Amino acid sequence: MFSIFKSDPTKKLKKQHAVKLEKAMHAQRNGDIKSYSQLTYEAEEIYTKILAIEGKNEG
């Protein structure tokens, strides 16, 4: 009933994911492929956590 007052548990993770992807894009454009790979990997880990939380909320 009061679900409109609950905060989204994935909101912070989604913001972190977007920041990591943006940093990865800038690293790639600057030719730093090693940093790009590391940041992309970290972004994928965050995305996996987001999917896990969203899966728990649905069921």
DSSP-derived 3-state class of residue 1:
coil
Q: For the range 29-37, what are the long-range contacts, defined as Cβ-Cβ under 8 Å and sequence gap of 24 or more?
A: none
pLDDT for res 1 = 53
The answer to whether 57 touches 13, Cβ cutoff 8 Å, is no
pLDDT for res 45 = 98
Q: What is the pTM of this model?
A: 0.81
The predicted-structure confidence for 5-23, as pLDDT tens digits, reads as follows: 777 889 999 999 999 999 9
Counting every residue written for the chain, the total comes to 59
